[in-house]
Amino acid sequence: MPKGGKSKKKKDKSTQQEDGATAVLLSVPNLGLDDDSESVCSSLPDSIILSDEVLDSGGCVDDSDSDSELQFQLTEHIDQLSDKNSRNRLSALKYLNGILRHKLITQHIIGREETFIDTIIKGIKKIRGSERCDLLHLSSLLVLQVGEEHGQLLLVLRPLLSTIIRDHTVTPAERSSALSTLALYSFILSQDVKELESVMHEYESIIYSVKVDCIVTSAVKGWSLLLSILPDHVIPSILSSQLPLLTGILENSLDLTVKMAVGQSVALLFELARDIDEDLLESDDVDILCGIIQSMASESNRYTGRKERSQQRSCFREILQSVESGTVPERTVKFGLETLTLDSWARLLQYTALTDLLGTGMRSHLQNNDILRDMFQLGSPPLDHRETKADKMERKLYNAACAKYRSQSRGKQRDKRAVL
């Protein structure tokens, strides 16, 4: 082979790629560049279009094909939930949990929701361990998809979940998952105040009798979630009966997650009571509680790690401000073209509970899920301005052509300077 043949081949290949980028660039919009950039880009052509070949090669995706594939995948994985092979079941659980967490697929499970629900319930009854936790998580995701149309789910699952919660032979993770699932079902599906109070009484018995931290944390969070939607007339009795007990847990617990969950539930309780009548907060129990929260907001004991101390002080400073003056830590969440303001403890704890469930899929559900949009009073979703694949391809090719032209222009300028 002649010397230098390899580099010539590479050079030819590079030239072909550059020519391909140039062929796509038939026109360029006004870039609005400053004077310093005009010497590089001022002589670019005036318009840009994509050839039919580029669009056919992947610029557009047929939505009907995508929907058909999703429908097929959902049907296949729902059927695999009842498979005898545990590996197939776990694979189906992983897929379904992932897709329900990140996409709204209500239209794709219409006609199969009864089979879906029945399969999940049978699995929760028969299976134990981490697989049951995954099934409980899947059932929580499902209720965010189907909503109140399947309110009977609460009637079916309530006895089953209560049995798991009280069963000391199952793992703490299973009991914790059952507590979170029952709280979410009651929060979304229950319309009866007595039913909500009944679930809360069940959670109170767990909070004050169980010594396992993860179970207590889930029970406190579930109790706070239901407290956030109770009517005003039941708040005074809850304040007088539960405040001393919550203060005791706050004072005696050694686990940071338990203390933070209890502190936030206390802040919520004070917020709701203050909205009714500030005189409800005038008592010796409140003074004792404020002293405990103040000590936690400034604690500097060396037997805990630096990170834990920092988290505790930051959390309880916000709680102390809420308890003493009613100041609420405001959070702002941006998703797409919209903004959600969390300006109360009720909203903040509701958002936190849903984020724990949905993870990174929370923003997608805020954009598209009517249940969440109604919950946070977001109204109808705005027009969809998401970038299509054709837009991305056009932008990529346009940038490639601009980069090529800049390189050529700078090369010419360097040549002119060399002559001088």
pLDDT at 81 over 70: yes
- Answer whether 368's CB lies under 8 Å from 380's CB: no
| pLDDT-based confidence at residue 395 (cuts at 50, 70, 90) | confident
pLDDT at 418 over 90: no
pLDDT at residue number 318: 93
pLDDT at 201 over 90: yes
pLDDT at residue number 325: 87
Looking at this protein, which amino acid is placed at residue 246?
A: L
- Average confidence (pLDDT) over 211-222: 96
| Least confident residue range of 109-113, 207-211, 278-282 | 109-113
Sign of the torsion angle spanned by Cα atoms 178, 181, 187, 191: negative
pLDDT at 264 over 60: yes
Give the phi and the psi of residue 383 in degrees, each rounded to 5: -60, 145
Residues forming a β-bridge with 334 = 339
d(CA 136, CA 179): 10
DSSP E strands in 296-415: the ranges are 331-335, 338-342
pLDDT at residue number 400: 84
- Average confidence (pLDDT) over 161-166: 94
d(CA 363, CA 386): 14
Q: What is the DSSP string of 30-82?
A: -----HHHHHHHTTS-S-----HHHIIIII---HHHHHHHHHHHHHHHHHHTT
The burial class, CB within 10 Å (0-12 / 13-18 / 19+), for 379 is exposed
Q: Within a 10 A sphere around the Cβ of 254, how many other Cβ atoms?
A: 9
pLDDT at residue number 151: 65
Residues forming a β-bridge with 250 = none
pLDDT at 294 over 70: yes
- Average confidence (pLDDT) over 206-223: 95
Q: How far is CA 223 from the centre of its chain?
A: 20
Q: How far is CA 360 from CA 53, 89, 125, 146, in A?
A: 36, 24, 29, 20
d(CA 112, CA 227): 34
| Least confident residue range of 141-155, 382-396, 398-412 | 382-396
pLDDT at residue number 419: 58
pLDDT at residue number 314: 92
| Least confident residue range of 295-299, 371-375, 406-410 | 406-410
pLDDT at 106 over 80: yes
pLDDT at 9 over 90: no
* 132-155 pLDDT, tens digit each: 999 999 999 998 988 777 667 767
| Least confident residue range of 27-41, 119-133, 387-401 | 27-41
- Residues of the chain with pLDDT > 70, as a percent, come to 79
| Least confident residue range of 61-65, 83-87, 173-177 | 61-65
Residues whose CB falls within 8 Å of the CB of residue 187, separated by 6 or more in sequence, listed in order: 225, 226, 229, 350, 353
d(CA 180, CA 133): 11
d(CA 406, CA 271): 60
| pLDDT-based confidence at residue 114 (cuts at 50, 70, 90) | confident
Give the phi and the psi of residue 334 in degrees, each rounded to 5: -105, 130
Q: Which residue has the tokens 């919009």?
A: 29
| pLDDT-based confidence at residue 393 (cuts at 50, 70, 90) | confident
Rg of the chain on CA atoms, in Å: 29
pLDDT at 420 over 60: no
Residues forming a β-bridge with 333 = 340
1 or 276: which leads in pLDDT: 276
pLDDT at residue number 4: 47
237 or 380: which leads in pLDDT: 237
Enumerate helices (H) and strands (E) in the chain, giving the number of each: 20, 2
Q: Which residue has the tokens 């092979």?
A: 85
pLDDT at 24 over 50: no
d(CA 351, CA 19): 51
Residues forming a β-bridge with 331 = 342
pLDDT at residue number 54: 33
**Helices (DSSP H) in 81-170: which residue ranges?**
86-102, 106-109, 113-126, 130-146, 152-166
| Angle, helices 256-276/235-252, rounded to nearest 10 degrees | 150
pLDDT at 51 over 70: no
* 327-381 pLDDT, tens digit each: 888 899 998 889 999 999 999 999 999 999 999 999 999 999 999 999 999 988 7
pLDDT at residue number 341: 93
- Answer whether 144's CB lies under 8 Å from 188's CB: yes
pLDDT at 410 over 50: yes
